Amino acid sequence: MFFRESQVPSGEVVLTGDRPTGPLHLGHYVGSLQSRLHLQEKNKQYIMVADAQALTDHAKNPDLIRENVLEVVLDYLSVGIDPTKSTIFIQSQVPALFELSAYLLNLVTWNRLKHNPTVKEEIVQKGYGENVPAGFMTYPVFQVADIAAFKAHLVPVGADQAPMLELASHIIAKFNRDHHTDCLIEPKALIPAFGRLPGLNGNQKMSKTLGNAIFLKDPLHLWEKKVMRMPSDPAHARIDDPGNVENSLAFTYLDAFDSDLEELARLKEYYREGGLSDSLVKKRLVAVLEGFLHPIQKRRKELENNLDYVRDTIVQGTKKANEVAACTLREVKEAMGILYLFQ
């Protein structure tokens, strides 16, 4: 079952997270950070830095993951995630998640994990073949444990992640059924209102690996040229030709970031009629993005000068996450009847 953001009732528990493999970019903002800003107002939101999950395909490079934990939290705080409203925590520092994973792994067949379409695609992308790490094959179950531990009602995911949520419902329903309990909650997927932001080269997805991203912390001189070089509508070779707004990447970005809707509608009209150059549209985009990124980067500088505050935020959030996850784990063990040593 899917939920659109506009339909989210208040008071739901939301769990979301990111693998800390690099700093966050505009694609993250459009696809998830902006919806988290809304969600934190009326819901109980947990935001997890999924460092342990990142290690499932970066086992050789824990340094990279460690360095990016702080980067990602700095990005969260600088866009306006408010630690008094959202709980930010680090996955690897919540041991109950791994214990819970061990029990949930027994509730799913190897066959089902092998046929998870998301994982199958990632195995091809990463060129693992038969040599896929067992940790990678099982990461979806660890993800289910994350969701279960916080009793999340809602998990914001891209449409391609739907199989993950089906797996979560499957495992959680099975646990509740097998143990005649309702202590775990079956989650629902929350599809963000905004679709995905394409990369600067027009690729479907903005990503660090594809080298087509603007990072939230990128200074103007790094990204301005990239914007000006973005591909334009091929049918709009001459300024006077009628342009197709839907084929213009710059307009796609303006749709995501320009809050002056009237001016945007006017520009689109002008572009469609012909007479508006792509470089003018891109210049508008540069100005809009600068206006968007400037306050975020200002806040980031302040935070970088106050790393004690950032660390304290992580420590407090992780402490709270540990309390919640440990409590659920205890309920799970109780339902299974394996609390024998401590009854």
Positions in 24-53 near ligand TRP (CB under 6 A): 48, 50, 53
Residue 71 falls in which region: left (phi positive, over 0), alpha (psi -120 to 50) or beta: alpha
Residue type, 137: M
Question: What is the rounded CA–CA span in Å between residue 63 and residue 289?
Answer: 32
Nearest to 100 by CA among 257, 321, 275: 321
Residue placing its CB nearer to ligand TRP in the complex, 68 or 232:
68
Contact segment (CB under 6 A) with ligand TRP among 82-90, 139-147, 250-258, 310-318 equals 139-147
Residue placing its CB nearer to ligand TRP in the complex, 30 or 276:
30
DSSP H or E stretch at residue 148? helix 134-149
Residue placing its CB nearer to ligand TRP in the complex, 33 or 147:
147
Residue placing its CB nearer to ligand TRP in the complex, 15 or 256:
15
What residues contact 280, with CB distance under 8 A and at least 6 apart? none
Tokens matching residue 207: 């990503």
Residue placing its CB nearer to ligand TRP in the complex, 162 or 280:
162
75 counts as binding ligand TRP under rule CB under 6 A: no
What residues contact 106, with CB distance under 8 A and at least 6 apart? none
17 counts as binding ligand TRP under rule CB under 6 A: yes
Number of residues that bind ligand TRP (CB under 6 A): 12
143 counts as binding ligand TRP under rule CB under 6 A: yes
Q: Are 179 and 336 in contact (CB under 8 A)?
A: yes
Q: Are 281 and 267 in contact (CB under 8 A)?
A: yes
Residue placing its CB nearer to ligand TRP in the complex, 20 or 243:
20
155 counts as binding ligand TRP under rule CB under 6 A: yes
Q: Are 46 and 153 in contact (CB under 8 A)?
A: no
318 counts as binding ligand TRP under rule CB under 6 A: no
146 counts as binding ligand TRP under rule CB under 6 A: yes
199 counts as binding ligand TRP under rule CB under 6 A: no
154 counts as binding ligand TRP under rule CB under 6 A: no
Residue placing its CB nearer to ligand TRP in the complex, 19 or 300:
19
Tokens matching residue 211: 């080298």
140 counts as binding ligand TRP under rule CB under 6 A: no
Angle of helix 134-149 relative to helix 162-178, nearest 10 degrees? 70
The residue within the footprint of ligand TRP, chosen from 13, 16, 250, 282 (CB under 6 A), is 16
Least distance CB 226 / ligand TRP (angstroms) = 24
Residue type, 123: I
71 counts as binding ligand TRP under rule CB under 6 A: no
Question: What is the rounded CA–CA span in Å between residue 30 and residue 24?
Answer: 11
Question: What is the rounded CA–CA span in Å between residue 255 and residue 207?
Answer: 19
22 counts as binding ligand TRP under rule CB under 6 A: no
Residue placing its CB nearer to ligand TRP in the complex, 43 or 143:
143
Nearest to 329 by CA among 171, 151, 87, 143: 151
User: What residues make contact with ligand TRP under the rule CB under 6 A?
Assistant: 15-19, 48, 50, 53, 143, 146-147, 155
